[in-house]
Structure 1
Amino acid sequence: MSDHDGVLAAEQSHLDHARAELARMREHTLSLVPDGGDAIADEALAWALHRRALSLVDDPSTTLFFGRTDHDDGQRLHIGRRHVTDSHGDPVVIDWRADVSRGFYRATRDDRAGVRLRRRFGVEEGRLTAYEDEHLVDRHEQDHSSAILAREIERPRSGPMRDIVATIQPEQDALVRADAQTTVCVQGAPGTGKTAVGLHRAAWLLYAHRERLTRQGVLVIGPNRAFLSHISAVLPALGEVEVEQRTVTELLTVAGDGRKEVRLRGEEPPSVATLKGDGRMAEVVRRAVWSAVGDPAQVLESGAVVVTRGSRRWRVPGYLVKDLLHELTHRGIRYEAARALLPQRLSHAVLQLFEAAGDSPDDVVQDAVARSAEVRKAVKLLMPAQDAAKVLWRLLSDREFLVANSQDLLTGAERDLLLWPRPPRTAGTAKWTAADSVLLDEIGDQLQRTRSRAHVVLDEAQDLSAMQLRAVGRRCSTGAATVLGDIAQGTTPWSASSWDDVLGHLGKPDGSLEVLDRGFRVPSAVIDYAARLLPRIAPDLSVPTSVRDDPGRLDVLEVPDPVAWSATVAAQLLAEEGSVGVVVAANSLEAVASTLTAAGVEFSRLDEVVEGDVQQRVSLVPASLVKGLEFDRVLVVEPADIVDGEPDERTGLRRLYVSLTRAVTAMVVLHSRELPPELA
């Protein structure tokens, strides 16, 4: 046996030992049962043990460790996806998130941090097949690229996105381990791993700050359900099985956080949706909510609060009631909180009258006055109970009410856009739109504070409106956020033009902006071709560069009928290992689907994602949903149709840029119409 084979056999033996110890840890966890003490505590413990057992499930298709570091002090650490110990509590595998694992990702010959040797392992179907050693002690040794690292980055992938713990680069690791209180905004070109950075940051935070983040929750927000399905396996593979994942629409329409369910049944022109997403609408709806506060002189009999106690009547004058209302409505609390405090404030004012008359009332008397019919009636008139849907219904159907709450904010033409042409008779019959759901959420937060999570990961943030960003910001008002995106990939009518604007609307103006422009997943032939569009769609951004040795393959083919050719090309791409994405304009979706079906090419439609469906190797996806996804090989059908499918050319070119940057290995472009000049 050669020395190489001997080393590999020893490492495989360590892997087998680690697997056995992980199985022992899981069996031990499953053997633990609550002891029948307190019922609530028993239930909490049972749930904690269940979560722990789920996190200890082994995946035989991967290895428990992917690297090793040897240190000056004699330590030898195997770095893996989770911590594994033996029966004595000694470490067998070190979690990649532990501080001692940092050297595997960041140690260099100039800054070794005590690391003498870094070893990477090649893996096939859960077994070790190769290893590479990098000796860091000899500073004069010539740097060489890692074939194992390159092979892992370029490995064909099918199904959901996988974790990248074995290939995290130093600049990515720095972002992953950023301070928990810091909001990090990542401007990342296609293929730079920004989504993976965000997910691994969530996993690291849950490791480093487990108690607080588990208690308050971590939320991942993606652009659509296809994207969330694509990334759904990453965190569970890292042992994190309880992270909430939502689209923005789901976040704002599904019941929770004290909100009612919002059913979206209406549609509206982009111009109306854009206006409803404008940041000025926050002040409009704030005024609408607080306009319900009444003037004592107008809503109360004699303009004062009068309380009968025994044979005497006690009068709180209107000017004093007005002062109480002003204090409550200008202290920065929510409407319902102010409304709950008003009875006690009025009662306190009555008790002051008692004391001035020589009485000595106690807390029992104050509570009785606060619950009295006179005070309850006054509160109902001064601060009536409100419902978010009714407030918005009135705002969009009552011109006078809208004018009163949008003075100096909106123009007459903008009010005409907002007002319903045919107002529904009641809020309950309104056909709410996606843009309405954001306004409902804003109103709901004015009424009652939204629950904040400990951390929010927001992907494709450049596509959110100011009001959507405010809604996300409320979900991390007491925590931090990881904001991910690419200004060049903004494809909504309201997409952001700068990250300063995004962070400002999120309520995180001090967030740290970081740029990732080294592409690890998209090959140079593909990214260089797509980057020709950048001077037109995002002139302020630098051109991304691919760091891969393999340039990949690019074929731009002019054919008589791209739809008819799509099945033939897809079948050819299927001959190689990995996934295939067929990206088309929305108006070509059905035609391409029929062509693939007729040719016998099995495929999944990503516009019809159903939980539990078997994912085929070929995915048919409209250009509007391809953002954030990646495939080994991509077929783009008729770029001009993709551009024309958007309301303006700039947005259309950005949509095309997204479509042209989804390939990991090869891309074929089929066209019969003229390409944009930059791509011709």
Structure 2
Amino acid sequence: MPGNVLEAERAHLAASRAALRAMREHAQSLSADAAGDWVSQQVLQGLLDQRVAALADHPDAPLFFGRLDRAADDDLPSTVYVGRRHVHDESSRPLVIDWRAPISRAFYQASPADPMGVALRRRFGYQGGDLTAYEDEPLDGRALGQSRLLTEEIERPRTGPMRDIVATIQPDQDEIVRADLGVTVCVQGAPGTGKTAVGLHRAAYLLFTHREKLSRSGVTIVGPNRAFLSYISSVLPALGEVKVDQTTVAGVLGDHAHPEDPAVAAVKGDARMAEVVRRALWLHVTKPVEGVLFTKGINRYRVPDHEVREIVASLRGTTRYGPGRATLAQRLAHAVLVQMERRGESPDDRVQDAVARSKPVKAVLDAVWPKLTPEQVLFRLLSDPEFLAKAARSDLSPEEQQLLVWGKPYKSHRSAKWTAADAALLDELGDLIERTPSRGHLVVDEAQDLSAMQLRALGRRCRNGSATVLGDLAQGTTPWSARSWKTVLDHLGQPSGEVTELTLGFRVPREVLDFAARLLPSVAPELAPPRSLRPGAGSLSVRRETDVAAALSEAVRQALAQEGSVGVIAADSALPALSAALEATAVPHTVLGPDSTGDDRVLLVPATLAKGLEYDHVIVAEPAAIVEAEERGLARLYVVLTRAVTSLTVLHGRDLPEELR
């Protein structure tokens, strides 16, 4: 009867797609004209447009990927199809249940030991958008091996952007995805464990479960670079979530890319700088030497200097700088109004506001509590050694202070060339002056590479919400890379966050992962070696070549003879020569840049951009050059060696690093 079952399931798929089209057509037919005013019409039209976009059918993506036959005797349906979104017919009968709905949890969590009211779980296999196979798993205690369809889906070759993993989410991943909104989760994930996908699916789950709240406060995905964002850009739209901000740290803090000595950047990124810039800001508030003399007609009202000093002292450091300045103006004005009332006048709030904006009050403000921008404060800090010494006190050594002071002075803060490390300091100052708005939820990927000051900046974006923190301590490649997730959570302002570890890989073949794991004792000795479900026999080839560039073309041609994407990864400085070698042998390819989309079959990838990406076939050229290129070169090599999904070829003319021999 398998043929009859397939035909019945294909008929249900066709009916579900027809129902989805009807739902979309209905949404398109709705009009925003019913809203009362123009503003309401625009808001309603935006919501309708989002609804239409969310109901888009993707022909190559299965509308449903699983089915539950339930044994429980309750009011819920006895048969449930689990898919990427909810679909119902004209009678509101559910044809497909969203994978995020509570009833769908059993698809990921049910087991013979705890069937969760499910008698049978069925998985479906697809070719493109066509349903071609099914596989049943009775949950009556019978032991079954690894699902063939599940394995095929995990191992399916990849081209183009990252896909969602709703059909293959594992129980430990599902626990993370469905964690409560109020909980900050930190995921330590070895290569191939799906931590990035888990973070994206948690964002989709939270938007489904807390739609109203998060539609107001928002969800933001923060990735390491634009190439990475391009790679993951299709995941959330495929799950029906079209209104999620996806950005980089530079996109959050400002795209300041002036080059800087890593030693200087390390000092600027240290958590001690938070106190240094705080002092630098408040050092601009000075002790008043004059009072306020306000004249109205023939009347003169004086607030003596000692009273002004008392008001300033009561405000200094107890409020943000900007509101403090505004409050000082109102306090001075109030002191003037008290004198007016003593003379029998009856001033109101309008009079107080007028006094607060008057020239005498403004003169005191400018002298005692000047209006400042973050750029003005940081410019003075980095260009004036004496001022830096006052702000730093004992927090920074004389040698560190000397590192920070600009060797070549700029004329003003407007001409200064800010760096990525400066951006985090400017953001810290900006929050000290005016409070930074918070988001409802923040997903931060590759968090192990962020400095303490960058983490503080991102933490301000979720101070009233929660976060999903993703990364791998073994893949830390910056001089300030984290050694502890507790430290990361503390800097992020989420000290109560829960740390969980994913060690079981699904994408990287075991042979490849074991080879890369030889580097772990040197880069992250405290981490347990990762394990892979996929044996991957024959997936690793390590070859010594007299001329690596010449051997590369043949290696790429061999990879192209197989299905899937090809990534050639090398030290950044080696890319021009390798690209020329491929061009000379007529091998089509594209060099991946920070803003590249990465859609081509063969990509030449700088080692510094490889993090978070994956390719079916990876060719690594000259590992020794990758290691020598930066301080944490072994960690960079660990990242590079774990980008392969099907095969890894290592070409080297020089000796491999000792750890890999």
Taking structure 2 as the reference length, the TM-score comes to 0.97
Partner deviation per Cα, 1:148-199 (whole Å, 9 max, x = no partner): 0000000001000000000000000100010101110000000000000000
Structure 1, residues 58-79: CA drift from partner, whole Å, max 9, x if none? Answer: 1111110000111123611100
Structure 2 residue identity aligned to 1:102: R
- How far apart in 1 are the matches of 2:452 and 2:304? 43
In structure 2, what is the equivalent of residue 226 of structure 1?
227
Give the Cα separation in 2 of the matches to 1:621 and 1:307: 68
* Structure 2 residue 278 is the aligned partner of structure 1 residue 291: no
Q: Deviations over 1:231-266 (max 9, x none)?
A: 111111111112111111122115xxxxxxxx54x3
Which amino acid is the alignment partner of residue 109 of structure 2? R
Which deviates more from structure 2 when the two are superposed, residues 472-481 or residues 319-328? 319-328
**Distance in structure 2 (CA, Å) of the matches to 1:605 and 1:93:** 42
1:355 is displaced (CA, Å) by: 4.2
Q: CA deviation at 1:380?
A: 2.3
Residue of structure 2 aligned with 1:507, choices 473, 481, 493: 493
What residue is the counterpart of 1:300 in the other structure? none
State how far apart, in whole Å, the 2-side matches of 1:101 and 1:585 are: 45
Q: Is the 8 A contact 1:552 1:665 kept in 2?
A: no
Q: Alignment partner of 1:347: what SS? A: helix
CA–CA distance in structure 1, aligned partners of residues 549 and 331 of structure 2:
71
| CA distance in structure 2 between the partners assigned to 1:289 and 1:15 by the alignment | 63
CA distance in 1, matches of 2:313, 2:159: 61
Give the direction of change, closer, same or farther, for the CA distance of 1:550–1:146 in structure 2 (3 Å limit): farther
Asked whether 1:99 is paired with 2:102, we answer yes
Contact 1:328 1:338 in 2 (8 A): yes
Matched letter for residue 121 of structure 1 = F
Aligned to 1:131: 134
Q: Which residue of 1 aligns with 2:149?
A: 148
Change (3 A) 1:609 1:425: closer
- Where does residue 30 of structure 1 map in the other structure? 28
1:194-273 matches, within 5 Å, as 194-253=195-254, 264=257, 266-273=258-265
Q: Which residue of 2 aligns with 1:646?
A: 630
Counterpart Cα distance in 2 of 1:317 and 1:116: 84
Structure 1 residue aligned with 2:387: 401
Contact kept? 1:602, 1:616, Cα under 8 Å: no
> Does the alignment pair 1:83 with 2:86?
yes
Residue in structure 1 matched with residue 407 of structure 2 by the alignment: 421
* Distance across 2 between alignment mates of 1:537 and 1:371: 59
The aligned counterpart of 1:260 is none
CA drift of 1:600 comes to 1.7
Q: Measured at CA, do residues 608 and 316 of structure 1 come closer, stay the same or move farther in structure 2, by a change above 3 Å?
A: closer
Instruction: Give the corresponding residue for 1:17.
Output: 15
TM-score by length of 1: 0.94
8 A Cα contact 2:225 2:594, kept in partner: no
Helix, strand or coil at the partner of 2:100:
coil
1:276 and 2:268 are equivalent in the alignment:
yes
Q: CA deviation at 1:275?
A: 1.0
For the residue of structure 2 that corresponds to 1:428, the secondary structure is: coil
Identify unmatched segments of 5+ residues in structure 1: 255-262, 298-302
2:511/2:536 contact within 8 Å kept: no
Total equivalences in the alignment: 656
1:665 to 635, 640, 646: 646
Pairing of 1:359-508 with structure 2 (within 5 A): 359-508=345-494
Deviation (angstroms), 1:377: 2.2
CA distances 1:606-634 after superposition (whole Å, capped 9, x unpaired)? 126445x7x22111101111010111111
Residue 624 of structure 1 is matched in structure 2 by 608
Q: State the shift of 1:279 in Å.
A: 1.0
Question: 1:319 corresponds to which letter in structure 2?
Answer: H
Aligned-residue CA RMSD (Å) = 1.5
2:423 and 2:479 map into 1 onto residues whose CA distance is 17
In structure 1, the residue corresponding to 2:499 is in which secondary structure?
Answer: strand
2-structure distance, mates of 1:535, 1:471: 32
1:41-80 correspondence to structure 2 within 5 Å: 41-72=40-71, 73=73, 75-80=78-83
Aligned 8 A contact 1:580 1:631 in 2: yes
Return the letter of the residue paired with 1:669.
Answer: V
Shift of 1:116: 1.2
Counterpart Cα distance in 1 of 2:80 and 2:643 = 36
Does structure 1 retain, via aligned residues, the 8 Å contact 2:330–2:352?
Answer: yes
Superimposed CA distance per residue, residues 328-366 of structure 1 (whole angstroms, 9 cap, x where no aligned partner): 2333x3211111222211122223334455555433433
Residues of 2 paired with 1:345 and 1:376: CA distance? 12
SS of 2:590's equivalent in the other structure is strand
Partner-residue secondary structure (3-state), 1:340: helix
Amino acid at match of 1:249: A
**1:552 shift after superposition:** 5.6
Q: Is this contact kept in 1: 2:282–2:317, CA < 8 A?
A: no
CA contact (8 A) 1:563 1:595 kept: yes
> Residue type of the partner of 2:208?
Y
Provide the rounded CA distance (Å) in 1 between the counterparts of 2:467 and 2:261: 32
CA distance in 1, matches of 2:478, 2:488: 14
**Residue of 112, 115, 119 corresponding to 1:116:** 119
d(CA) in 1 for partners of 2:30, 2:538: 52
User: Helix, strand or coil: the match of 1:495?
Assistant: coil
